[in-house]
Structure formats: C-alpha cells, structure tokens
Amino acid sequence: MRDESVLKKFSALYVEDNKLMRDSIGRIIRRRFGEVYIAENGKEGLELYIKYKPNIVITDVEMPVMDGITMIKKIRAVKETQSIIITTAYEDDEHTDSSCVNLIKPVEAERLIDAIFECLGCGR
C-alpha cells in the first residue's frame, strides 16, 4: 500500500461535465490532495489553471463550452510540461499526445490514482 498522504502537498485540477462523475471522483481526489479545483468545462478549467497552476490536471475530453483537447492545448501553451490525465470514452489514439496518461472510460478510481502517482512521479 502506497502512501497516499504524499499527495497532500500537491494540488490538482479536475475538469468533468458529468455531475455525478464530478461529484464522486471530486470527492475521491479531494480526500487525497492538498488543494483540489473542480471545473465543469474547459473554459472554467483553463481559468482555474491560470489562477492556481495546479500540479496535475485531470480532464474529460468531451465537454460543452470548451472541450478538453482545446483546454489542454491552451494549458500546454502556458506550461509545456504540465502533467495531464485525460479521461476519454474512446479507445482510439486520437486524443493521445505527450500528456502523461490517457484513461479510457469507464474510469476506475484505482486506475486514476495509479495514473496520478505515475504522472507525479512519486512512485509506488
């Protein structure tokens, strides 16, 4: 069992349009991270990102107002090495880029946390 308390010194941005997912996963992340910022769409997410510069960004792809890909592009314009976890419903490679990890929906919480660790390079 890894020590999840190391995450407490990190901050995270979670962007998801589905309320149920946002609430549930939001809770799970919030329990572990020091600071968690939650947004409903890419636009909000970008604003929060610029404001708080979180250590990790977890985002859905298909969202209203601004989709995840656009948001990621803009975030990368700000910080190229930003660690990002993408949760996507599609199994294709379309959304894959240099961002840290692609998670295929359905997102399992365990896998998400694994991905977080992987991205932050905290090891197991």
Partner 1 sequence: MKRIGVRLTLGYVSILLILGCIIIFSIYRVNYQRTLNEKMRNHPFAVTRAIMNINMKLTDLHQGIHYLIRADDRIVIDESIAKITEADYEICSNFSLLSERFLGDKKLLSDAINAYQIYKHTNNEIIRLKKAGDKIDEDILISTEQQTDDIKQSMKKMSDFALYKYEYYLNELSHVRNNTINYLYLLFIIAIIVCSILSYIITRSIVVPVSSLITASQEISKGNLDCLVAINSYDELGQLENIFDKMVKNLKGLHDELKLHSEIIKNMSEGIALIRVADGIIVYSNPKFDKMFGYDTKELYGKHVSILNAPTDTSPEEVSEKIISSLHSKGMWEGEVYNIKKDGTLFWCNASVAEFDHQEYGHVWVSIHTDISKRKETERLFYYYMDNIDAYVYIKDTDSNYIFINKKTEELFNITREDLKIRKYTDYDFFDKEMAKQLIANDLHIMKLGKNMDIDEVGTVEGYQNTILQSGYRYYLALKFPYYNETGNVIGVCGFSYDITERKNLETALRKQEETIRNMLNILPVGIWIQDKEGKITQANPIAQEIWSGVKYVGVEQFGEYNAWRTTDGKKIEAEEWTGARAILKGETTINEELEIECFDGTHKIILCSSIPLRDVNNEIYGVVSCNQDITDLKNTEKKLRIERDKLTTILDIMNAGIYIVNKNYNVEYVNPLLTREIGENDNKLCFNYMYGKTEPCPWCKLKEVISGETVHWYWHYDKLNKTYQRYDAPIKSEDGSISKIAIFHDITELLNLQKTLKRELDFQTAFAKISEALLDSKLNRYDISKIVYEEALGLTNSSHGYVSIIEESSGDNVAVNLTDMMDKSCAVAKAEQTVRFPRGPHGYNALWGHSLNTGEAFYTNTPSKHPAFMKCTPTGHASIARFLSVPALIGNKVTGQIALANPVNDYTDSDLEIVKRLASIYAIALERKRMEEEIIELNIGLAQKISAEIKMRMHNEQLLIQQTKMATMGEMLNSIAHQWRQPLNAINIVVYDIKDAQDYGELTSEYLNNSAKTIVEQTDFMSKTIDDFRNFMRPSKEKAMFELKSVITQLISMFSPFFIKNSISINLISADEEFNVYGYANEFKHVVLNLTNNSRDAILLRREKGIKDIKDRVDISICRDNGKTIVSISDTGAGIPEDIIDKVFDSHFTTKSADKGTGIGLYMSKTIIESNMGWKLTVRNIDGGAEFRIEI
| Residue 74, burial from CB neighbour count under 10 angstroms (0-12, 13-18, 19+) | middle
**Cα Rg of the chain (Å, integer):** 13
**Residue 66 is a binding residue for partner 1 (CB under 8 A):** no
The amino acid that residue 81 corresponds to is T
Phi first, then psi, for residue 101 (nearest 5°) are -140, 140
Q: Which stretch binds partner 1 (CB under 8 A): 5-13, 15-23, 41-49, 77-85?
A: 15-23
Near partner 1 by CB under 8 A: residue from 24, 74, 117, 122: 24
31/73 with CB nearer partner 1: 31
Which listed residue (7, 12, 15, 25) binds partner 1 by CB under 8 A? 25
